[in-house]
Amino acid sequence: MLRSFPNAITACVFGASGGIGAALALRLADDPAVALVHSGGRSAISERTKTVPFQFDLTDETSIAAAAAAIGTCDLVIIATGLLHDGDTQPEKSLRAQAAEAYAKAFAVNAIGPALIAKHFMPLLPRDRRSVFAAISARVSSISDNRLGGWHAYRASKAALNMILRNCAIELARTHRHAVVAALHPGTVDTPLSQPFQRNVAQGKLFTPDYSAEALLKLIDGLSPEDSGNLFAWDGQRIEF
C-alpha cells in the first residue's frame, strides 16, 4: 500500500499494455489509497474496477497532449515504456553494428516520448502535496557502471532519459516543492523485452512482472524530494549516472 501519499490519489501508467506496466496498473488498482488509475497503451486496454483506459502513441505528441487534457490532475505518473529490440533491430554487439535507424527508434521511444509526457503531465502534478513522476530506465544506462560496452543505442537513449529526468527535477522543484522525479531500474523482468537475453541471468535474478511492480511501488513510496532527479534500482539502491 502507498503510505506516503494522501488517500484517494489519481495515478497514471503509460505502457499499461506491457508486462511491467500492466502489473503496476493492477497493483495500483488494488491499493486502497488509490482512487483512480488511468492506464495507457498504444492498443486498447480493458477497463477494470478503478481503471480508466486511454490510448496514446509515444511518437505522436498530439495523442499525449489529448490524454493530458482528458485526465487532468495526477498524483503519480509512471512511464513503463521502452524499446530494446524489435523485428528490424537488435542490440548492437560492436561499433560496426551501429545504424542510424536503430538510434532514431531507440531515442524516439526511450527518451523523446517520455520527455513529451513530462512536458504535458508535469504541469498536472499538484503543488500543495506529495507527487511522483517516474520512468523506467535501466542499470545499463549508467555511464559510470558501464564495463561491457555494446547495446549502443539502448544505453545512449536510456542515459538521455536520465538526463531529461534530472533536468525536469531541477525545474519542477521551483514550483512543486513536494514533488519527486525519478528514474527506476526494475531489475531483469520476464517480459518480451528481456526474453532473448535471459540465458545468462543469475538464478533468482529474473523477476516476474508482479514482483518487480511490487518492488518499484515500495521504492516510489519511500522516495523524498531530496531523492529527486536520480536513478534507483528496484531494491532501493541509488545508481550513479
pLDDT of residue 1: 85
Report the chain's mean pLDDT, rounded to a whole number: 95
Instruction: DSSP letter for 62, please.
Output: H
Q: What is the per-residue pLDDT across 30-70, written as a single tens digit (0 to 9) for each?
A: 999 999 999 999 876 777 789 999 999 999 999 999 999 99
Which grid cell sits at 12? 497514471
* Count of alpha carbons within 13 angstroms of residue 59, beta-carbon side: 9
CATH of the domain at 14: 3.40.50.720
97 assigned to some structural domain: yes
- Asked whether residue 2 is domain-assigned, the answer is no
Q: Would you say residue 1 lies in a domain?
A: no
Tell me how far CA of residue 131 lies from CA of 5, 11, 21, 32, 155, in angstroms: 8, 10, 19, 17, 28
Residue with cell 498524483: 75
The domain total for the chain is 1
Whole-model pTM: value is: 0.97
22 within domain boundaries: yes
Residue 3 lies in a domain: no
Residue 4 lies in a domain: no
pLDDT per position as a tens digit, 197-222:
777 777 878 999 999 999 999 999 99
Question: What range defines the domain where residue 27 resides?
Answer: 9-239
Dihedral of the alpha carbons of 121, 190, 207, 92, in degrees to the nearest 10: -80
229 in any annotated domain: yes
